[in-house]
Amino acid sequence: MFSYILRRLVFGALTVVGVSIVVFVVMRVLPGDPLVAIFGPEGFTKLTDQERAHYMAELGLSDPLWLQYLHWVQDIAYGNFGRSFFRSESVAEMILRRGPLTAQIAFLSVTFSWLVGIPVAVVSALRPNSWADNLVRFMSILFLAVPGFWLGMLIVLTLLFTFGYRAPLTGASLFTDPWTTLQMVIGPAIVLGLGQAAYIARMARSSLLEVIREDYVRTARAKGLNGRLVIAFHALPNALLPVITLSGVLLGFVLAGSIPVERAFGTPGLGNAMYTAVSERDVFVMQNLVFLYAVVFVLLNILVDIIIAWLDPRIRLR
């Protein structure tokens, strides 16, 4: 098991290094000048060549690319993520302030997707080609096709014009004001969770249909075990292994999906900060948030691999 975890950590570290290079290069080849974003087109034209060179050197953007990359990696190692062009707070402060909201949205959405997707998949798999199965497949395809930001805006407008309700827009801590925090995160979590539940239901249904045809399930039924006990203690645990893997991937995708959904709900999380940084071309915020999202995605997949290996000895022995 130790060697398996070590291999996954090494592969994860190499992936993070590759991602950092890709993120850095992409940020540097994007069209536009950071000084134009800071001073505006008119203000940029009024700058002299000496002033432009001074500001670029101050931002660390006048050094060779390889040196800029090394400085960036060194800053990350020391926890220095730079500062926003347009705000007084640093990127690290922004992550600490906004990150918990996005993390709560992500984990709530995954929890919601399991609470909805797994029971629906069990009902669908036990009654294949029935009206319930057809309804489940139709609804799963529907929620896979519906864009999350559109559904989010629809919910916001319905609550606003029908009930006159609008979720709080100011930040709150889960421990100091849990009710306000729940109001801020429940909408995005449900919207993202519905899309994930469709994936979970389809994967769990397919996996359960395969498992219930295995010999050990038929043997358990032949011994006279109750059908519900066979499903709950024999079929479902084995059918959930690929679902756990899929959940790890979906949890990473939630981070990217939270950008338009948080914008639709006005939630002051990292997704909203990313949207603002892209629209303002705030290079350091974009660069560090994209890298943070990539690192979280890699860590989640490593964690899921370890959990799967712990649950299934056949994997860690390979």
- How many structural domains is the chain composed of? 2
Contact call for residues 112 and 197 (beta carbons, < 8 A): yes
Evaluate whether residue 21 is within a structural domain.
no
pLDDT by residue, tens only, the chain of 318 residues: 667 777 777 888 888 888 888 888 887 777 666 666 666 666 656 666 676 777 677 666 677 777 878 888 888 888 777 777 777 777 888 888 888 888 888 888 888 888 888 888 888 877 777 777 778 778 777 777 777 767 777 777 777 677 666 666 665 566 666 777 777 788 888 888 888 888 888 888 888 888 777 777 777 777 776 667 777 777 777 777 788 888 877 877 777 777 888 887 878 888 888 888 877 777 778 888 888 888 888 888 888 877 777 776 666 555
pTM of the model: 0.78
Does one domain contain both 168 and 58?
no
Evaluate whether residue 244 is within a structural domain.
yes
Does one domain contain both 175 and 45?
no
Query: In the block, which residue shows the tokens 């670029």?
Result: 56
Q: How many residues does the chain have?
A: 318
Q: Which helix (H) or strand (E) holds 114?
A: helix 91-126
Lookup: tokens for 94: 């922004």
- CATH code of the domain covering residue 145: 1.10.3720.10
Quote the domain boundaries for residue 39.
32-80
Lookup: tokens for 224: 């006279």
Does one domain contain both 64 and 107?
no
Evaluate whether residue 1 is within a structural domain.
no
Evaluate whether residue 38 is within a structural domain.
yes
241, with CB counted inside 10 A (0-12, 13-18, 19+), is: middle
Does one domain contain both 48 and 99?
no
Cα(281)–Cα(113) distance, integer angstroms: 34
Does one domain contain both 124 and 210?
yes
Does one domain contain both 38 and 106?
no
Evaluate whether residue 22 is within a structural domain.
no
Evaluate whether residue 7 is within a structural domain.
no
Does one domain contain both 204 and 69?
no
Does one domain contain both 56 and 121?
no
Residue 117 Cα distances to 195, 205, 240, angstroms: 10, 9, 11
Contact call for residues 71 and 81 (beta carbons, < 8 A): no
Does one domain contain both 136 and 194?
yes
